[in-house]
Copies of this chain bind each other. A is one copy, B any other.
C-alpha cells in the first residue's frame, strides 16, 4: 500500500467513501443539512481523515471566484503601528471568514517606484496604509478594490479612505508645548514624504504661526541614529537654541533625546521633546515620551470593514478617527 506522490483530491475521498465527489463537497463544505444522511456524512469525514485530505485552495478559489483574502500594504514591518493596524484588520477579517496577507512595500513610500507586486497570490482587495500619494496608481493597475489608510483623502482610485485626526493631534502637541512657555521650537520632521507626515508638519506650522513662537524644521530618516545626527547638526548651527523639539514620530524623538544627552543637555529640564504615535519605544526610553496616541487597531478595523463593504457593493462608511495627547516626562516648562 504505497501512497501516491500527489495530494489526494475530493474525488479520491469520494472513491474511498463509496460516494460521489459532489457528496464529498457537500459534506466537507458543511451544507448538507437534509441533503446527506448522518451516516454517509460520517463515512465521508472518516475517509477524508484517513487520506489526510486538504482541499486544493487554488481550485476552490477559482470555482468561487473569490479568495476571501485581502492584502495589507505597509511601508515598513518593524513599526508596531502597522503591526497593530494588521491586528485590527485581521480580527475584523476573521469575523467574516477573510484572511489578511501582508506586503511590505520594498521601496518604502518613495514616489517613482512601483510598490506593488504581490506575486501570484490571488486576492479580493487591497488595503494600503500610509503610502505615498502616487501609490494608488500602481495598485490600481491590479484592478482590485482599494482602501487607503492614513492617507490623502483625495487619493484618486481609492474606494474609501480611513483617516486619523492627525492635524488635531499635532495641534494638541503644539498647544501643550506653547502652554509650557516654549517659544523657540525645532520641528524634527520625517525625510520620508507621505500624507501623514505632511499633515503633521502643516498642522504644527499652522498652530505655531499665530502664537508668537519661532519654528525651525529639519528632517531625518525614521531611525534613531539618523535623527540623532540631524538634531546634533541642527543644534550646532547658529541662532538661538530651541527649548523644545517637536518630532513627527517617536523614533525621531528617541534620537533627539539621545543627541541632547550627548550634548550634555537634560530632557526635559533644558529641552522638552515630543513624539508621535505612542509606540512601545515611547515608554522604553528615559524619560518617557510625551506623544500622541493613535488608535492603530481601529484604523485596521475600519479599513477592513470598509473593504468588506466595497466588496459587498455597499457604501463604505467614511470618517476620521480621533487621537489622544499623552503627556509624560519628556516635556516641562521652558527654562527661563
Partner-B contacts on A (CB < 8 A): 7, 52, 54, 56-62, 67-69, 76-80, 82-83, 86, 90, 98-99, 101-104, 106, 117-123, 141-143, 223-225, 251, 254-255, 258, 261, 280-281, 283-286
Contact between chains at B283 and A225 (CB < 8 Å): yes
Of B104, B122, B123, B224, which contacts A283 at CB under 8 A? B224
Given the known inter-chain contacts A52-B143, A101-B121, A120-B68, please indicate yes or no for A281 contacting B283, CB distance below 8 A.
no
Of B57, B67, B117, B143, which contacts A7 at CB under 8 A? B143
Residues in B with CB closer than 8 Å to A86 are 77, 104
What is the minimal beta-carbon distance from A29 to any residue of chain B, in angstroms? 13
What is the minimal beta-carbon distance from A18 to any residue of chain B, in angstroms? 24
Residues in B with CB closer than 8 Å to A281 are 281, 284
Contact between chains at B121 and A99 (CB < 8 Å): yes
* A4 to B120 CA separation, bound complex (whole angstroms): 25
Q: How many copies does the complex hold?
A: 2
* A76 to B60 CA separation, bound complex (whole angstroms): 30
Q: List 30 A-B contacts (CB under 8 A).
A: A54-B142, A57-B121, A58-B58, A58-B61, A58-B62, A58-B67, A58-B122, A59-B62, A60-B120, A61-B122, A67-B120, A68-B119, A69-B121, A77-B77, A78-B78, A78-B80, A78-B83, A78-B280, A86-B104, A99-B119, A99-B120, A99-B121, A102-B102, A121-B122, A224-B283, A225-B283, A255-B284, A281-B281, A281-B284, A285-B285
* A57 to B144 CA separation, bound complex (whole angstroms): 13
Closest to A144 in B: B54
What is the minimal beta-carbon distance from A315 to any residue of chain B, in angstroms? 17
Contact between chains at A77 and B83 (CB < 8 Å): yes
Residues in B with CB closer than 8 Å to A120 are 57, 60-61, 67-69, 99
* A166 to B328 CA separation, bound complex (whole angstroms): 38
Given the known inter-chain contacts A61-B120, A83-B78, A119-B69, please indicate yes or no for A258 contacting B280, CB distance below 8 A.
no
List the 5 shortest-distance A-B pairs measured between CB atoms, nearest first: A99-B119, A58-B61, A77-B83, A57-B122, A224-B284
Residues in B with CB closer than 8 Å to A285 are 284-285
* A280 to B281 CA separation, bound complex (whole angstroms): 11
What is the minimal beta-carbon distance from A76 to any residue of chain B, in angstroms? 8
* A225 to B255 CA separation, bound complex (whole angstroms): 20
* A314 to B243 CA separation, bound complex (whole angstroms): 63
* A161 to B54 CA separation, bound complex (whole angstroms): 25
Contact between chains at B121 and A67 (CB < 8 Å): yes
